[in-house]
Structure 1
Amino acid sequence: MTSTQQGHPGMLPARPGLRLWSTLLQMAALGTFGMVFISVLAAWFAAGVALTFLLGFGLILLTGLLYVVFGTARMEVRRVADLYRLQVPDLYWIRQQAPGFGAWVRSLLKNLGHGRMWAAFGSFAVSCFLGTTMLGGLEWMIRLSITSFAPLTESESISGPFGLTVPASDAPWMFLVAILGAALAVGMIFLHRVITVSIVGTSALQTELTERVRTTTVQREGAMRAAELERTRIERDLHDGVQPRLVSVAMTLGLAHQQIDTDPQQAKALVAEAHASTKSAITELRQLTRGIYASVLDDRGLDAALSAIAGRSHIPVQLDVQLAGRYPRHAEAAVYFAIAEALTNAAKHSRASSCRVTVRERTGENAQRTLWARIEDNGTGGARITPGGGLDGITNRVAAAGGTFTLDSPQGGPTALEVSVPCAS
């Protein structure tokens, strides 16, 4: 990370003189127009609350106000970050996770409780108040400086700032008060820096730490759930497939051993049957180990591994993979198994006649590389995530890798799954 300036973590060095003047100009603008803007927002809020019971029209006003507050808060984060060279992430709107009006309402409620947004908006309000105070100090400084020269005129009294009238005999003392006004203005500038950097920087740090804890918790739970599902699947496959076949091989060899002296031909036939069952058991074990991890991923990469899946699929698969080189092992494995499980589910349940798999590398927020895959089939749709099912396994595998998974499968089809896994090692 870039070196930091003393006084606040995450602050980059900048020219102090230029930053001082930039702060002065910004505070002057906020002091001039900011309080008017806040007054408009307050009136907007009051109108929204008052009209809420009038056919719900006020809810529309309040919804629009939320968007305006968010835009103001995001602007404040960018302003403070650019002014004081802070390394803080931008403020992003929490988008709806699914289509529909209900998902949009839930998104609004999440943004309504967005703590970092309200902290940034509070920083904007404080900045407006400090800007107004700074302008007052500047007015004291300028007008009292002029007032201090009253003895040079023939006036008995001089009008000071804020409607004050100063006797001409006391005018020389006003120069000292003008110095206090200048000190007040400068103090507001430095106070603005302390407060806004603390609010914007601290809220961003808390948000980042909270998100890291949430992500780590989700990944841990997903990994534990995926491991449990994988263990259950292995036990089921061994119990239902390989184990009975091996028991049959042992029984067949036992019968051959009993008949090897009395009926050699029958014993040879039994040995041949046991040999064929053994090869089938070996094939099943290979398929089982391939389900745990595909060695072709390590040998030839994700593109070749997906080509092998498409070749074995019972449904014709149109594969469209455009990748640049290799990726971290956990990312390739998560995408590989998500596609493999999705194709298996499509073959078992969807009654689809074709399937399309698209894989790309994408660049997300903060220039983070991700592996993105979309699996579409023309089946009957209606796919749902059920505990212990194949889609549940995909969800947990992707979550354990720190990725996201979305499913769109209306009744009647088609079904589309999207998987996005970060490539950070």
Structure 2
Amino acid sequence: MKTKLITTWSRAVDLFLDFIVGTFWVTLFLALIATGIPLILLAGLGVLLLLGTAALTRVSGSAERHRAMALHNVAIEAPHRRRTTRTDWLRPFAQGLTDMTDPVTWRTLAHHLITMLVGSGMLLILAGGIGLLEWLTLSANAGTVSWAMPVAAGLAALLLLVLYVVYIGRLDEAASVALLGPSRSAALAGQVNQLAQARKGAVSAADTERRRFERDLHDGVQPRLVSTAMTLGMAKHRFDEDPQGARQLLDEAHEEIKESITELRHLARGMHPAVLTDRGLDAALSAVASRSPVPVRLEVNLAGRLDGETEAVLYFVVAEALTNVAKHSGATSAQVQVNRRDGAVCGRITDNGRGSAYVTPGGGLSGIGDRVRSAGGTFTLTSPEGGPTEIEVLVPCES
């Protein structure tokens, strides 16, 4: 109830400002256009004025978008404005012509007109209600009408005003989102591009993970198994002549096989540890932090479990990031924070190392970025020379 009341008051304030600000913008743009058109034949001054008028919609549109976001408590993405391809001294004029033909310019002007109209409507209801109430009050004082008339008129005017604020306020909010944000086609194009980036990230992440697994097998388990095979071969040849030596070689082969099994388990755990499935992200990250040669301060602030994909992505990000910290950063400490943020989960890994980290194709940081993008998230790296290095990822997650 309290939230609805606050929303109603916000819409009332917005509609009142709509009249003031909308009237200002409409008056300004009409004056500029009305002045510019007659001056077109006067040494082209009118053309310059009209080009400047189109450019001014960038300022007015941005100001109105931020006002709408503040009062309606909605997120409105900035629309994509067309840009000229010219780079010579005619660029400002070419950009002005581009702005005049840009649909965003005309949508912004339409928004200014709508805000002026809906704001004027609220003031008309308010002024009309006050005028009617004043007239009925004077009539009641003169005895020509009953006192019930001004009371009923006041209540009716108040009800009409509240209904106008509620329903026209919703219309004004919808118009702000539709006219000041990206067009539907642009939004769809953005979604398609995001899905394409996610698909590309998934393919790259899978390829990176495959190459990492092959490298770990080639550098670790494979040589150990080859050595085990050679040991078994020597034991086989010594079995008749030197049973004791053969027994010793078999013991060595047995130890090598157990170590190979342990290493394979570590590799499988690195892909998707059992503790992540059984006990969740907090426990899995605690295990990763405890194995890190660099001291890690871990903070996981999550209420309940996340979906499996989100947990797997965050686990991979933290594990790979801490591996890079241990190998390349020269850091003496690191910090990992995982928190919810506006329909997503934010993971931040910071170290006090030398900094100057950058993304290289096929590298660990590149793999982190690919893995995050495959889940529709974002990856940000900040690593100035001298440190600190900070990795921040945002992974969408259902509440």
- Superposition TM-score, scaled by structure 1 size: 0.61
Name the counterpart of 1:209. Answer: 188
Task: Give me the whole-angstrom Cα distance separating, in 2, the residues matched to 1:41 and 1:303.
Answer: 61
In structure 2, give the amino acid aligned to 1:69.
G
Over the matched positions of the two proteins, sequence identity in percent amounts to 45
Which residue identity lines up with residue 336 of structure 1 in the other structure?
Answer: Y
AA of the residue aligned to 1:124: H
Q: Report the Cα offset of residue 125 of structure 1.
A: 5.1
Gaps of 5+ in 1: 1-23, 46-60, 83-87, 95-108, 135-191
Q: Give the root-mean-square deviation of aligned CA atoms.
A: 4.2
Structure 1 residue 91 and structure 2 residue 82: aligned?
no
Deviations 1:308-331 (CA, angstroms, capped at 9, x unpaired): 001111111111112111001111
State the AA in 2 paired with 1:278.
Answer: I
Cα deviations across residues 150-198 of structure 1 (Å, max 9, x unaligned)?
A: xxxxxxxxxxxxxxxxxxxxxxxxxxxxxxxxxxxxxxxxxx99xx699
Aligned to 1:327: 306
Which residue of structure 2 lines up, in the alignment, with residue 379 of structure 1? 353
Whichever residue aligns with residue 359 of structure 2, its letter is I
- 1:253 Cα deviation from its structure 2 partner: 0.5
Distance 1:28 1:382 in 2: 52
Q: Which amino acid aligns with 1:298?
A: T
Q: Is the counterpart of residue 122 in structure 1 residue 109 in structure 2?
A: yes
Give the whole-Å Cα distance in 1 for the aligned partners of 2:226 and 2:362. 28
Q: How far has the Cα of 1:32 moved from its partner? A: 5.0
Quick one: distance in 1 between partners of 2:69 and 2:314? 35
SS of residue paired to 2:299: strand
Deviations 1:29-73 (A, max 9, x none): 788544323257779x9xxxxxxxxxxxxxxx9999744331235
Give the distance between the partners of 1:128 and 1:353, measured in 2 at CA.
57
1:293 aligns with 2:284: no
Instruction: Give, as a single letter, the amino acid of the residue that structure 2 aligns with 1:208.
Output: A
Indicate the SS of the match to 1:382.
coil
The letter of the residue matching 1:92 is E
Rounded to whole Å, the distance in 1 between the matches of 2:248 and 2:22 is: 98
Structure 2, unaligned runs of 5 or more? 1-14, 37-52, 80-94, 122-170
TM-superposed deviation, 1:217 = 0.9
CA contact (8 A) 1:249 1:277 kept: yes
Contact 1:89 1:204 in 2 (8 A): no
Where relative contact order (Cα < 8 A, 6+ residues apart) is larger, the structure is: 2
* Alpha-carbon contact 1:242-1:284 (below 8 Å) kept: yes
Cα distance in 1 for partners of 2:180, 2:379 equals: 31
| Alpha-carbon distance in 2 for matches of 1:116, 1:305 | 51
Do residues 266 (structure 1) and 218 (structure 2) align?
no
Is the partner of 1:327 in helix, strand or coil?
A: coil
Which residue, 335, 339, 347 being the options, matches 1:360?
Answer: 339
Indicate conservation of the 8 Å contact 1:77/1:120, yes or no: no
- Conserved? CA contact 1:116–1:204, under 8 Å: no
Q: State the AA in 1 paired with 2:60.
A: V
Q: TM-score, normalised by structure 2?
A: 0.65
CA distance change for structure 1 residues 356 and 27 in 2, over 3 Å: closer, same or farther?
A: closer
Q: Distance in 2 between matches of 1:28 and 1:381?
A: 53
Q: Establish whether residue 70 from structure 1 lines up as the match of residue 62 from structure 2.
A: yes
Shift of 1:119: 5.5
Map Cα deviations across residues 60-95 of structure 1 (whole Å, 9 max, x no partner): x9999744331235557999xx8xxxxx9642348x
Residue 141 of structure 2 is matched in structure 1 by none
Instruction: State the alpha-carbon separation in 1 of the partners of residues 64 and 280 from structure 2.
Output: 46
For the pair 1:336 / 2:315, whether they are aligned, the reply is yes
Distance (whole Å) between structure 2 residues aligned to residue 40 and residue 263 of structure 1: 108
